[in-house]
Structure 1
Amino acid sequence: MTSLTAASPQEAIKNRTTKYDDLWGHPKPLWMLFMAEFWERFAFYGIRWALTLYIVAQFFNGDASGQTFASNTYGAYLALVYGSAIFGGYVADKIIGSQHSILIGALIMGAGLFLIMLPDQSFFMAGLATIIVGNGLFKPNISNLVGKIYEQNDSRRDRGFSIFYMGINAGAMISPIITQWLASTLTDTPMMDNYKAVFGAAGIGMLISYIWFYIGRKQLKGVGAIKKTPTRTKNLFYVILGAIASIGPVYILMAYAGAQVLAWLLFILFVGLAFMLIKGAKKDGKIARDRMFACLIMCAFNVIFFMFFEQAGSSFTFLAQNIVDRNITDVFEFKIAWFQSVNAVAILILAPLVSMIWLFMSNKKIEPSIPQKFALGLLGTGLGFLVLVYALENLLNSNNLIPLWPLAACYVLHTIGELCLSPIGLSMISKLVPASMAGLAFGGWFLSTAIGNNFSGILAGSISGETGMTVVSAVNGFSFSFWLLTGAGLFLFIISPLINKLMHGVK
């Protein structure tokens, strides 16, 4: 049998399985990781709704022609946020361990969030670049730790990742409500100035995440850490220096390369990573190699999913601002940021239900396989776009606006799709990949997300065009989204038996 837990000697990382006390049916450290991720996601989603609106307001004086630039910038930012995870995973696996990667990343992200408060486009882009570098060190490694606190064949692992995913979305639910309130009521200054309070609140959330993990990491009993030696101290210094130095190149990619150039760079990076992962897996035998192939195939479908799911921060935001009637009464308006909370609330409600459905189906031996769950996720996301197309073609009022319920319903359907795909994908990586390559493989998963996010910005930019989003452009863009997602979902259903063979019994 191929070993899936032994780490290579040069890593010197404590990847051994450690017995933890249970708390509420799961290893106790899960709840510490839950809250650290909660505050990091509070920061991330606290600015998600505001970025494109701020760019148009601050740098284009509110002109709708700035929507394309804002969407492309937002897509590139998200792409690099997730693409940087490949380097963060490698740094953790080979140099400083997951724990120190998370701590360094949290501080760098906090610095970037405070930097984007400065009302200058160059400083804004530099701030985004700083957030990207910090997130690369933070994001893949905290997910990796969740996988490490479970025994290899622990049946609770999928449910543990679903709980962890709820932590992500608890932060995502609260932060848009708080940051929208800050932007709307804190001052009487122009809206682009109020957005700075949004960015500052996110920075504070990131500092809380750092403190929470720093204090709580003792619960991990050394998992994800390396022994304190002069070599470790030197490596930490070099990693910090390298992280600071990398902000410049990331800034250049953000400010000058453009979304199309970035798409090619990310593709080349993913191909190179795929070769590295396959070469490394071959050392552990045919089964490990086949499982790695399965992971890479699923990453390709993850690209498709996030290309359309991440319209939430770009085209959906402009749709909510300009083509949705958000007036519930004469005096009460549904705020733009609250749509981001719809997704998070739906996850908090539906995640336990979906988890129970998987458990029930597992007990009945009819649970869908990992590829089939992914296919359901693609189809559910496509259905959300169909609802929007229907509304735009049939429910426009005299002001050329649609009701708010179709957009809210789209977010809920996308949430169902997300629950069938994202937490399952994280769990899939932790089950299929040798522990010695887990950080790098999680980086690969987030790199596929990055490619999808970059495409999402390109798609949103094409929907807005040169003059901003219109009803016609929205119908065309969302119809394309529905058909592509539906076709991809059906195709994945057809080939799922082939992928299952490559997984060699992993469910």
Structure 2
Amino acid sequence: MTPVATDATRPVPEFPQTLGHPRPLWMLFMTEFWERFAFYGMRWALTLYIVAQFFNHDQAGQGYASRTYGAYLALVYASAIFGGYVADRILGYQRSILLGAAVMGSGLFMVMVPNQQVFLAGLATVIVGNGLFKPNISSLVGQIYKQGDARRDRGFTIFYMGINGGGLLAPLVTGWLASVLSDTPMEQNYKVVFAASGVGMIISLIWFFIGKSQLKGIGVPPPERNGTRSMLMVIVGILVAIPLVYLLMAQAGAIVIAWLLGVLFIGVGVMLVVEALRHGRVQIQRVIAMLLLFAFNVTFWMFFEQAGSSFNFLAENIVDRNMFNGAFIFPTGWFQSVNSAAIIALAPFVAWAWAWSAGIGKEPSIPRKFGLGLLFNALAFLVLMYALSSTVDGTGHIPFWPLALCYVMQTVGELCLSPIGLSMVTKLAPSKVVGLAMGGWFLSTAIGNNLSGLLAGHISGENGMTVASALSGFTFSFWLLMGAGVLLFLIAPLINRLMHGVK
């Protein structure tokens, strides 16, 4: 199949500039804002809904809910590998994004149906649609900058603020919706949450459809792949993929998914190396450096994604959420906005720090930025270790502030790693498989997410989370993250050599 032209094979148009960046960045920013509104709007409610709807509020359902949540997130990100390939080789980036948005919206409305099989089928539909959407809009951000443009990292940081703008607004809106419907069971309230998320996805679809003309042909496939036939091929593939993903979630389970993702990751790595072999030693070593950083990305997300599972149950059952002497109970879902609020507040300072350090010739290398991400993630768990060992009151609760501070510390780590990783892929990947490589990045995130569900299920055990089980699990998390961060700092010079001057 003929590859889609990328920024390396097609000249980048001269875009009008807005606030120092190509104007299409801001259209992509808002498209991603509304897609993330849809994603985060329902993310906080998933595990709580499963326990309420399918286990009649029995806390013994926490383990199953955590594993299902981890498998869902894993497959959401793993599907990006196929979506990136489809965009590279068949459909182009623009049409992949539009089709993915439509499929995701359908799935979000399906999860409202109070039937476990339909619920899982809805999640499977969201997963497949996200695979077409997520890697390809990130790839477009990289393609609106010329090779060597020093603004690219800062552009990805701005784009990341769009991601987290949606992530901030969504839990506040949907958490409020769930709380004001106080005369109905929470199972019904969560369905309103899912409906609001579906509306957000529709807005994202419309926004991109209207704004895609700003891209001036970037992301459009060659003429021979721009017809109806390629679209029909992909639609048939979607109709086949959704039942397969459903079976993985309903029958295979998180452990089988972990093995499948591992095999898939090896396969992607081999494909990237094979493509790199066509370009010589430098490109081969750059791909090896990228794959090494993918492995550390797995570790980061294994612990970061406790947010929607073990941290959720911690907030619901162990954190004292009574505010102002009991006058207000802080909604569980609002904790999910702390991360996004911190990103919006801190991202400009982090971007400035990178620019300032670059100006004096001291900017940390990409591997060291990753290492900082792991270390800040470790410190977040250290805060929870302190709270669970030293601040538990007579009712078995910890104060509000440790979990909020944990989210802020994780946010600093995320800003050091995640937007830098997106930019890194567009710099290190062979030019003809940027979409595939971006899918590989999200696949490494998927593996971490699936492991996060297994860890959260272990922390909850058979009867639900306790102070003791949370302390044990979070202590393990701290030491593993700390070790990984220190190791990455030690081997950073080797990875820098493999990158051959890519900054």
RMSD value, Cα: 1.0
Within the candidate set 15, 32, 43, 1:48 is matched to 43
Shift of 1:249: 0.4
Does the residue aligned with 2:150 lie in a helix, a strand or coil? coil
Structure 1, unmatched stretches of 5+, are 1-8
Tell me if 1:146 matches 2:141: yes
**Map of 2:415 onto structure 1:** 419
**Map of 2:216 onto structure 1:** 221
Tell me if 1:243 matches 2:235: no
Q: Which 4+ stretches in 1 moved above 4 angstroms?
A: 227-231
**Map of 2:203 onto structure 1:** 208
**Map of 2:164 onto structure 1:** 169
Cα displacement string for residues 421-450 of structure 1 (whole angstroms, at most 9, x for unaligned residues): 000000000111122110000000000000
User: Residues of 2 paired with 1:393 and 1:432: CA distance?
Assistant: 44
Shift of 1:403: 0.3
- Kept in 1: contact 2:4–2:219 (CA 8 A): no
Within the candidate set 254, 268, 284, 2:279 is matched to 284
Tell me if 1:359 matches 2:351: no
**Map of 1:259 onto structure 2:** 254
**Map of 2:150 onto structure 1:** 155
Tell me if 1:489 matches 2:485: yes
**Map of 2:402 onto structure 1:** 406
Tell me if 1:91 matches 2:86: yes
- Kept in 2: contact 1:85–1:446 (CA 8 A): yes
Tell me if 1:435 matches 2:431: yes
Shift of 1:197: 0.3
- Kept in 2: contact 1:102–1:137 (CA 8 A): yes
Within the candidate set 327, 339, 342, 2:335 is matched to 339
Change in Cα spacing, 1:262 to 1:367, as seen in structure 2 (3 Å) is same
Does the residue aligned with 1:420 lie in a helix, a strand or coil? helix
Tell me if 1:471 matches 2:467: yes
- Kept in 2: contact 1:14–1:222 (CA 8 A): no
Tell me if 1:386 matches 2:382: yes
User: Residues of 2 paired with 1:55 and 1:181: CA distance?
Assistant: 19
User: Residues of 1 paired with 2:171 and 2:55: CA distance?
Assistant: 24
Tell me if 1:36 matches 2:28: no
- Kept in 2: contact 1:93–1:440 (CA 8 A): yes
Tell me if 1:13 matches 2:5: yes
**Map of 1:183 onto structure 2:** 178
Within the candidate set 110, 122, 127, 1:132 is matched to 127
Change in Cα spacing, 1:218 to 1:469, as seen in structure 2 (3 Å) is same
Cα displacement string for residues 174-219 of structure 1 (whole angstroms, at most 9, x for unaligned residues): 0000001111113521001110000000001001000000000000
User: Residues of 2 paired with 1:270 and 1:12: CA distance?
Assistant: 23
TM-score of the aligned structures, taking structure 2 as reference length: 0.98
Letter paired with 1:387: V
**Map of 1:4 onto structure 2:** none
- Kept in 2: contact 1:32–1:216 (CA 8 A): yes
Does the residue aligned with 2:432 lie in a helix, a strand or coil? helix
The number of equivalent residue pairs is: 499
Shift of 1:382: 0.4
Tell me if 1:371 matches 2:367: yes
Shift of 1:12: 4.6
TM-score of the aligned structures, taking structure 1 as reference length: 0.97
User: Residues of 1 paired with 2:182 and 2:132: CA distance?
Assistant: 35
Shift of 1:230: 7.9
User: Residues of 1 paired with 2:4 and 2:57: CA distance?
Assistant: 53
Letter paired with 1:203: G
**Map of 1:323 onto structure 2:** 318
Cα displacement string for residues 289-333 of structure 1 (whole angstroms, at most 9, x for unaligned residues): 110000000000000000000000000000000000001122111
Letter paired with 1:208: I
Structure 2, unmatched stretches of 5+, are none
User: Residues of 1 paired with 2:58 and 2:390: CA distance?
Assistant: 28
Cα displacement string for residues 389-435 of structure 1 (whole angstroms, at most 9, x for unaligned residues): 10010001111100010000000000000000000000000111122
Letter paired with 2:456: A
Tell me if 1:82 matches 2:77: yes
User: Residues of 2 paired with 1:418 and 1:367: CA distance?
Assistant: 17
Letter paired with 2:394: S
**Map of 1:123 onto structure 2:** 118
Shift of 1:226: 2.0
Shift of 1:334: 1.2
Which range moved further: 68-77 or 226-235?
226-235
Does the residue aligned with 1:188 lie in a helix, a strand or coil? coil
Shift of 1:231: 6.3
Change in Cα spacing, 1:81 to 1:200, as seen in structure 2 (3 Å) is same
Alignment of 1:22-33 (within 5 A): 22-33=17-28
Tell me if 1:192 matches 2:187: yes
Change in Cα spacing, 1:21 to 1:400, as seen in structure 2 (3 Å) is same
Tell me if 1:270 matches 2:262: no
Cα displacement string for residues 117-138 of structure 1 (whole angstroms, at most 9, x for unaligned residues): 0000000000000000000000
Tell me if 1:103 matches 2:95: no
Cα displacement string for residues 82-110 of structure 1 (whole angstroms, at most 9, x for unaligned residues): 00000000000000100000000000000
Does the residue aligned with 2:322 lie in a helix, a strand or coil? coil
User: Residues of 2 paired with 1:260 and 1:227: CA distance?
Assistant: 40
Letter paired with 2:399: P
Identity of aligned residues (%): 63
Shift of 1:232: 2.4
**Map of 1:460 onto structure 2:** 456
- Kept in 1: contact 2:179–2:331 (CA 8 A): no
